Structure 1
Amino acid sequence: MTMNSTNPKVDFYFNEIRKWQQELEQLRTIALGCGFTEELKWGVPCYTYQNSNIVLIHDFKEYCAFLFFKGALLDDHNGILIQQSKNVQSARQIRFTNVREIFDKAPTLKAYILQAIEVEKAGLKVAFKKPEEFAMSTEFQNKLDQISALKTAFDALTPGRQRGYLLHFSAPKQSKTRESRVEKCMPQILNGKGLNDV
Protein backbone atom coordinates (compact mmCIF):
# COMPACT_ATOMS: atom_id res chain seq x y z
CA MET A 1 0.00 0.00 0.00
CA THR A 2 1.13 3.51 -0.62
CA MET A 3 2.02 6.07 1.99
CA ASN A 4 -0.84 8.51 2.52
CA SER A 5 -0.12 12.10 3.48
CA THR A 6 -0.55 13.52 6.94
CA ASN A 7 -3.58 15.64 7.75
CA PRO A 8 -2.64 19.16 8.94
CA LYS A 9 -5.66 19.09 11.30
CA VAL A 10 -4.03 16.15 13.11
CA ASP A 11 -0.50 17.58 13.25
CA PHE A 12 -1.22 19.56 16.43
CA TYR A 13 -1.81 16.29 18.34
CA PHE A 14 1.66 15.04 17.49
CA ASN A 15 3.23 18.47 18.05
CA GLU A 16 1.63 18.93 21.49
CA ILE A 17 2.18 15.46 22.91
CA ARG A 18 5.18 15.17 25.22
CA LYS A 19 5.35 11.76 26.83
CA TRP A 20 5.02 9.27 23.95
CA GLN A 21 6.22 11.43 21.06
CA GLN A 22 8.54 8.91 19.34
CA GLU A 23 6.12 6.04 19.87
CA LEU A 24 3.12 7.95 18.53
CA GLU A 25 5.03 9.19 15.49
CA GLN A 26 6.00 5.60 14.69
CA LEU A 27 2.39 4.43 15.05
CA ARG A 28 1.35 7.26 12.72
CA THR A 29 3.93 6.18 10.14
CA ILE A 30 2.64 2.59 10.25
CA ALA A 31 -1.01 3.66 9.95
CA LEU A 32 -0.34 6.03 7.05
CA GLY A 33 1.68 3.33 5.32
CA CYS A 34 -1.44 1.17 5.18
CA GLY A 35 -3.38 3.50 2.90
CA PHE A 36 -5.64 5.10 5.49
CA THR A 37 -7.16 8.54 5.52
CA GLU A 38 -5.99 10.40 8.63
CA GLU A 39 -8.66 12.30 10.55
CA LEU A 40 -9.06 13.91 13.95
CA LYS A 41 -11.90 12.33 15.95
CA TRP A 42 -12.51 12.53 19.69
CA GLY A 43 -9.38 14.70 19.86
CA VAL A 44 -7.07 11.91 18.69
CA PRO A 45 -5.75 10.63 15.34
CA CYS A 46 -8.22 8.26 13.70
CA TYR A 47 -7.46 6.22 10.59
CA THR A 48 -10.32 5.42 8.25
CA TYR A 49 -10.85 3.20 5.24
CA GLN A 50 -13.62 4.32 2.87
CA ASN A 51 -15.11 6.50 5.64
CA SER A 52 -15.14 3.67 8.20
CA ASN A 53 -13.15 4.00 11.43
CA ILE A 54 -10.55 1.24 11.59
CA VAL A 55 -7.91 2.23 14.15
CA LEU A 56 -7.01 5.19 16.30
CA ILE A 57 -3.94 6.22 18.19
CA HIS A 58 -4.23 7.30 21.79
CA ASP A 59 -2.02 7.90 24.75
CA PHE A 60 -2.39 7.22 28.43
CA LYS A 61 -0.18 7.79 31.44
CA GLU A 62 1.22 4.24 31.46
CA TYR A 63 1.19 3.42 27.73
CA CYS A 64 0.20 4.48 24.23
CA ALA A 65 -1.85 2.30 21.92
CA PHE A 66 -3.46 1.42 18.64
CA LEU A 67 -7.16 0.89 19.24
CA PHE A 68 -8.99 -1.29 16.71
CA PHE A 69 -12.68 -0.38 16.57
CA LYS A 70 -13.72 -3.95 15.69
CA GLY A 71 -10.83 -5.64 17.47
CA ALA A 72 -13.13 -8.28 18.95
CA LEU A 73 -13.56 -9.66 15.41
CA LEU A 74 -9.83 -9.96 14.68
CA ASP A 75 -7.93 -13.23 14.84
CA ASP A 76 -5.53 -12.45 17.69
CA HIS A 77 -3.12 -15.31 16.96
CA ASN A 78 -0.30 -13.34 18.61
CA GLY A 79 -2.28 -12.71 21.81
CA ILE A 80 -1.59 -8.97 21.82
CA LEU A 81 -5.09 -7.47 21.74
CA ILE A 82 -6.32 -6.12 25.07
CA GLN A 83 -9.90 -5.49 26.14
CA GLN A 84 -9.76 -2.21 28.11
CA SER A 85 -12.46 -3.29 30.54
CA LYS A 86 -15.08 -6.02 30.81
CA ASN A 87 -17.71 -3.60 29.48
CA VAL A 88 -15.89 -2.84 26.21
CA GLN A 89 -17.56 -5.08 23.66
CA SER A 90 -15.96 -4.24 20.31
CA ALA A 91 -12.71 -2.29 20.58
CA ARG A 92 -9.34 -3.82 21.43
CA GLN A 93 -5.96 -2.18 22.06
CA ILE A 94 -2.38 -3.07 21.32
CA ARG A 95 -0.34 -1.26 23.97
CA PHE A 96 3.22 0.02 23.89
CA THR A 97 5.61 1.41 26.46
CA ASN A 98 8.62 2.09 24.21
CA VAL A 99 9.42 2.72 20.56
CA ARG A 100 11.48 -0.47 20.25
CA GLU A 101 8.34 -2.56 20.80
CA ILE A 102 6.68 -0.77 17.90
CA PHE A 103 9.64 -1.32 15.57
CA ASP A 104 9.78 -5.00 16.55
CA LYS A 105 6.03 -5.50 16.04
CA ALA A 106 5.68 -3.39 12.88
CA PRO A 107 5.04 -6.36 10.53
CA THR A 108 2.53 -7.80 12.99
CA LEU A 109 0.79 -4.43 13.39
CA LYS A 110 0.47 -4.10 9.62
CA ALA A 111 -0.99 -7.62 9.44
CA TYR A 112 -3.59 -6.74 12.10
CA ILE A 113 -4.43 -3.52 10.25
CA LEU A 114 -4.90 -5.40 6.97
CA GLN A 115 -7.07 -7.91 8.78
CA ALA A 116 -9.16 -5.04 10.23
CA ILE A 117 -9.63 -3.61 6.74
CA GLU A 118 -10.82 -7.02 5.51
CA VAL A 119 -13.30 -7.21 8.42
CA GLU A 120 -14.66 -3.84 7.32
CA LYS A 121 -14.79 -4.80 3.63
CA ALA A 122 -16.73 -7.95 4.55
CA GLY A 123 -19.25 -5.83 6.45
CA LEU A 124 -18.79 -7.83 9.66
CA LYS A 125 -20.49 -6.47 12.78
CA VAL A 126 -19.83 -7.07 16.46
CA ALA A 127 -22.81 -8.73 18.16
CA PHE A 128 -23.43 -6.38 21.07
CA LYS A 129 -25.10 -7.58 24.23
CA LYS A 130 -28.68 -6.41 24.53
CA PRO A 131 -29.47 -3.91 27.32
CA GLU A 132 -31.45 -6.55 29.20
CA GLU A 133 -28.29 -8.67 29.44
CA PHE A 134 -26.64 -6.01 31.62
CA ALA A 135 -27.12 -5.85 35.37
CA MET A 136 -29.83 -3.47 36.50
CA SER A 137 -29.30 -1.83 39.85
CA THR A 138 -32.10 -2.32 42.37
CA GLU A 139 -32.24 1.44 42.85
CA PHE A 140 -32.98 2.05 39.18
CA GLN A 141 -35.43 -0.85 38.93
CA ASN A 142 -37.36 0.60 41.89
CA LYS A 143 -37.64 3.97 40.12
CA LEU A 144 -38.81 2.29 36.91
CA ASP A 145 -41.47 0.40 38.89
CA GLN A 146 -42.62 3.58 40.67
CA ILE A 147 -42.60 6.05 37.76
CA SER A 148 -44.23 4.77 34.58
CA ALA A 149 -43.11 7.84 32.57
CA LEU A 150 -39.50 7.02 33.45
CA LYS A 151 -39.93 3.41 32.28
CA THR A 152 -41.54 4.59 29.04
CA ALA A 153 -38.75 7.13 28.44
CA PHE A 154 -36.02 4.59 29.23
CA ASP A 155 -37.55 1.96 26.94
CA ALA A 156 -37.64 4.55 24.13
CA LEU A 157 -33.87 5.19 24.34
CA THR A 158 -31.52 3.55 21.88
CA PRO A 159 -29.87 0.33 23.10
CA GLY A 160 -26.52 2.12 23.39
CA ARG A 161 -27.98 4.84 25.60
CA GLN A 162 -29.71 2.22 27.74
CA ARG A 163 -26.42 0.33 28.16
CA GLY A 164 -24.66 3.55 29.15
CA TYR A 165 -27.16 4.23 31.93
CA LEU A 166 -27.21 0.64 33.17
CA LEU A 167 -23.41 0.55 33.45
CA HIS A 168 -23.34 3.98 35.11
CA PHE A 169 -25.99 3.04 37.67
CA SER A 170 -24.57 -0.37 38.57
CA ALA A 171 -20.89 0.67 38.87
CA PRO A 172 -20.83 2.12 42.43
CA LYS A 173 -20.50 -0.29 45.34
CA GLN A 174 -22.66 1.72 47.72
CA SER A 175 -26.43 1.84 47.34
CA LYS A 176 -26.49 5.51 48.33
CA THR A 177 -24.18 6.40 45.42
CA ARG A 178 -26.20 4.30 42.97
CA GLU A 179 -29.39 6.03 44.16
CA SER A 180 -27.79 9.46 43.76
CA ARG A 181 -26.75 8.66 40.20
CA VAL A 182 -30.28 7.52 39.31
CA GLU A 183 -31.79 10.70 40.79
CA LYS A 184 -29.36 12.95 38.89
CA CYS A 185 -30.00 11.19 35.57
CA MET A 186 -33.79 10.93 35.73
CA PRO A 187 -34.44 14.33 34.07
CA GLN A 188 -32.08 13.45 31.24
CA ILE A 189 -33.80 10.10 30.65
CA LEU A 190 -37.23 11.76 30.75
CA ASN A 191 -35.97 14.20 28.08
CA GLY A 192 -34.92 11.29 25.85
CA LYS A 193 -31.21 11.95 26.20
CA GLY A 194 -28.29 9.62 26.76
CA LEU A 195 -25.85 9.84 29.65
CA ASN A 196 -23.37 12.01 27.74
CA ASP A 197 -25.83 13.97 25.57
CA VAL A 198 -25.85 17.72 26.07
Structure 2
Amino acid sequence: MILSTELTETLKWGMPTYTLDGINVAGLVAFKSFVAIWFLNGVFLKDKQKKLINAQEGVTKALRQWRFSSVDEIEPELIKAYIDEAINNQQAGKTIKPAKNKPLIIPELLADVLVKKPKLKDCFRQFSLSKQREFADYLVQAKKEATKIRRLAKIEALILA
Protein backbone atom coordinates (compact mmCIF):
# COMPACT_ATOMS: atom_id res chain seq x y z
CA MET A 1 0.00 0.00 0.00
CA ILE A 2 2.71 2.51 0.97
CA LEU A 3 4.88 1.29 -1.90
CA SER A 4 2.13 2.32 -4.34
CA THR A 5 2.89 5.96 -3.45
CA GLU A 6 5.85 8.10 -4.44
CA LEU A 7 7.60 7.33 -1.15
CA THR A 8 10.89 5.45 -1.19
CA GLU A 9 11.35 2.55 1.21
CA THR A 10 14.54 2.34 3.24
CA LEU A 11 15.64 0.87 6.57
CA LYS A 12 16.27 3.26 9.46
CA TRP A 13 16.42 2.38 13.15
CA GLY A 14 15.91 -1.24 12.08
CA MET A 15 12.45 -0.57 10.66
CA PRO A 16 10.99 0.12 7.22
CA THR A 17 10.96 3.88 6.75
CA TYR A 18 9.38 5.74 3.86
CA THR A 19 10.95 8.93 2.59
CA LEU A 20 10.18 11.70 0.13
CA ASP A 21 13.27 13.34 -1.35
CA GLY A 22 15.33 11.89 1.49
CA ILE A 23 13.03 13.20 4.25
CA ASN A 24 11.36 10.67 6.57
CA VAL A 25 7.58 10.71 6.18
CA ALA A 26 6.38 7.41 7.69
CA GLY A 27 7.62 4.18 9.20
CA LEU A 28 6.40 0.76 10.25
CA VAL A 29 7.22 -0.62 13.68
CA ALA A 30 6.25 -3.78 15.58
CA PHE A 31 5.98 -4.30 19.32
CA LYS A 32 4.74 -7.25 21.39
CA SER A 33 1.10 -6.18 21.52
CA PHE A 34 0.71 -4.03 18.41
CA VAL A 35 2.17 -2.82 15.15
CA ALA A 36 2.06 0.82 14.15
CA ILE A 37 2.51 3.26 11.35
CA TRP A 38 4.58 6.20 12.47
CA PHE A 39 3.91 9.53 10.80
CA LEU A 40 7.02 11.56 11.51
CA ASN A 41 5.21 14.89 11.09
CA GLY A 42 1.84 13.44 12.03
CA VAL A 43 1.01 16.47 14.16
CA PHE A 44 -0.03 18.16 10.89
CA LEU A 45 -2.45 15.40 9.83
CA LYS A 46 -6.13 16.33 10.21
CA ASP A 47 -6.96 12.94 11.79
CA LYS A 48 -10.73 13.34 11.47
CA GLN A 49 -11.13 9.63 12.29
CA LYS A 50 -9.13 10.03 15.56
CA LYS A 51 -6.75 7.18 14.76
CA LEU A 52 -3.48 8.84 15.75
CA ILE A 53 -1.92 9.02 19.18
CA ASN A 54 1.03 10.84 20.68
CA ALA A 55 2.81 8.09 22.60
CA GLN A 56 4.70 10.53 24.83
CA GLU A 57 2.60 13.59 25.59
CA GLY A 58 4.77 16.56 26.42
CA VAL A 59 7.86 14.87 24.96
CA THR A 60 7.04 14.00 21.36
CA LYS A 61 6.36 17.10 19.30
CA ALA A 62 5.66 15.93 15.74
CA LEU A 63 5.48 12.13 15.59
CA ARG A 64 2.08 10.47 15.72
CA GLN A 65 1.33 6.79 15.45
CA TRP A 66 -1.58 4.67 14.36
CA ARG A 67 -1.62 1.39 16.27
CA PHE A 68 -3.10 -1.92 15.17
CA SER A 69 -3.64 -4.77 17.65
CA SER A 70 -5.27 -7.10 15.11
CA VAL A 71 -5.51 -7.49 11.35
CA ASP A 72 -9.21 -6.59 11.57
CA GLU A 73 -8.27 -3.02 12.54
CA ILE A 74 -6.41 -2.36 9.28
CA GLU A 75 -8.38 -0.06 6.98
CA PRO A 76 -6.41 0.11 3.70
CA GLU A 77 -8.33 3.01 2.12
CA LEU A 78 -8.11 5.14 5.23
CA ILE A 79 -4.42 4.33 5.73
CA LYS A 80 -3.79 5.35 2.11
CA ALA A 81 -5.61 8.64 2.72
CA TYR A 82 -3.42 9.37 5.78
CA ILE A 83 -0.27 8.48 3.80
CA ASP A 84 -1.34 10.76 0.94
CA GLU A 85 -1.99 13.61 3.37
CA ALA A 86 1.43 13.05 4.97
CA ILE A 87 3.03 13.24 1.51
CA ASN A 88 1.14 16.45 0.71
CA ASN A 89 2.21 17.96 4.03
CA GLN A 90 5.84 17.08 3.33
CA GLN A 91 5.64 18.60 -0.15
CA ALA A 92 4.15 21.74 1.42
CA GLY A 93 7.12 21.91 3.78
CA LYS A 94 5.13 21.38 6.97
CA THR A 95 7.63 20.44 9.63
CA ILE A 96 8.43 21.25 13.22
CA LYS A 97 11.82 22.82 13.66
CA PRO A 98 13.82 21.75 16.70
CA ALA A 99 13.87 24.29 19.50
CA LYS A 100 17.07 26.29 19.46
CA ASN A 101 18.82 27.94 22.34
CA LYS A 102 16.93 25.97 24.93
CA PRO A 103 18.41 27.12 28.22
CA LEU A 104 20.66 24.81 30.19
CA ILE A 105 19.07 24.11 33.56
CA ILE A 106 21.46 22.21 35.79
CA PRO A 107 19.62 20.24 38.48
CA GLU A 108 20.60 21.00 42.06
CA LEU A 109 22.07 17.53 42.60
CA LEU A 110 24.48 17.97 39.68
CA ALA A 111 25.21 21.61 40.54
CA ASP A 112 26.25 20.63 44.08
CA VAL A 113 28.66 17.99 42.77
CA LEU A 114 30.14 20.40 40.22
CA VAL A 115 30.85 22.91 43.00
CA LYS A 116 32.51 20.25 45.19
CA LYS A 117 34.57 18.74 42.37
CA PRO A 118 36.34 21.41 40.29
CA LYS A 119 37.92 18.86 37.92
CA LEU A 120 34.47 17.47 37.16
CA LYS A 121 33.18 20.99 36.56
CA ASP A 122 36.05 21.76 34.15
CA CYS A 123 35.42 18.55 32.21
CA PHE A 124 31.66 19.21 32.16
CA ARG A 125 32.19 22.71 30.72
CA GLN A 126 34.27 21.24 27.86
CA PHE A 127 31.21 19.44 26.52
CA SER A 128 28.93 21.16 24.02
CA LEU A 129 25.84 22.86 25.38
CA SER A 130 23.64 20.14 23.89
CA LYS A 131 25.68 17.41 25.62
CA GLN A 132 25.57 19.29 28.95
CA ARG A 133 21.80 19.55 28.51
CA GLU A 134 21.64 15.81 27.77
CA PHE A 135 23.43 15.02 31.05
CA ALA A 136 21.12 17.36 32.99
CA ASP A 137 17.95 16.02 31.35
CA TYR A 138 19.00 12.42 32.03
CA LEU A 139 19.25 13.25 35.72
CA VAL A 140 15.99 15.24 35.87
CA GLN A 141 13.95 12.52 34.17
CA ALA A 142 14.54 10.10 37.04
CA LYS A 143 11.59 10.03 39.42
CA LYS A 144 13.09 8.33 42.47
CA GLU A 145 15.93 9.83 44.46
CA ALA A 146 17.84 6.53 44.38
CA THR A 147 17.65 6.51 40.59
CA LYS A 148 18.91 10.09 40.46
CA ILE A 149 21.91 9.17 42.59
CA ARG A 150 22.73 6.14 40.40
CA ARG A 151 22.41 8.29 37.30
CA LEU A 152 24.64 10.96 38.83
CA ALA A 153 27.37 8.34 39.34
CA LYS A 154 27.05 7.28 35.69
CA ILE A 155 27.16 10.89 34.52
CA GLU A 156 30.29 11.58 36.59
CA ALA A 157 32.06 8.59 35.02
CA LEU A 158 31.08 9.70 31.51
CA ILE A 159 32.17 13.28 32.10
CA LEU A 160 35.57 12.25 33.43
CA ALA A 161 36.18 9.54 30.79
TM-score w.r.t. length of structure 1: 0.66
Change (3 A) 1:190 1:53: farther
Distance 1:50 1:163 in 2: 32
1:99 aligned residue: 71
Distance 2:61 2:72 in 1: 30
Change (3 A) 1:100 1:43: same
Q: Deviations over 1:28-64 (max 9, x none)?
A: xx21122221111111111111111111100111110
Unaligned residue ranges in structure 2 (runs of 5+): none
How far did residue 139 of structure 1 move?
1.8
Change (3 A) 1:66 1:185: same
Distance 2:9 2:18 in 1: 5
Unaligned residue ranges in structure 1 (runs of 5+): 1-29, 192-198
2:2 aligned residue: 31
More strand per residue: 1 or 2? 2
More helix per residue: 1 or 2? 1
TM-score w.r.t. length of structure 2: 0.79
**Equivalences, count:** 156
Alignment of 1:63-78 (within 5 A): 63-78=34-49
- 1:88 is aligned to 2:69: no
Task: Decide whether the 8 Å contact of 1:68 with 1:92 is kept in 2.
Answer: yes
Identity of aligned residues (%): 30
Alignment of 1:71-150 (within 5 A): 71-86=42-57, 87-102=59-74, 105-129=75-99, 131-132=102-103, 137-144=107-114, 147=118, 148-150=121-123
Given residue 55 of structure 1, which amino acid in structure 2 is its aligned partner? A
Change (3 A) 1:106 1:56: same
How far did residue 118 of structure 1 move?
2.0
Q: Deviations over 1:64-92 (max 9, x none)?
A: 00011111222222221111112222211
Given residue 33 of structure 1, which amino acid in structure 2 is its aligned partner? S
Change (3 A) 1:137 1:123: same
1:174 aligned residue: 144
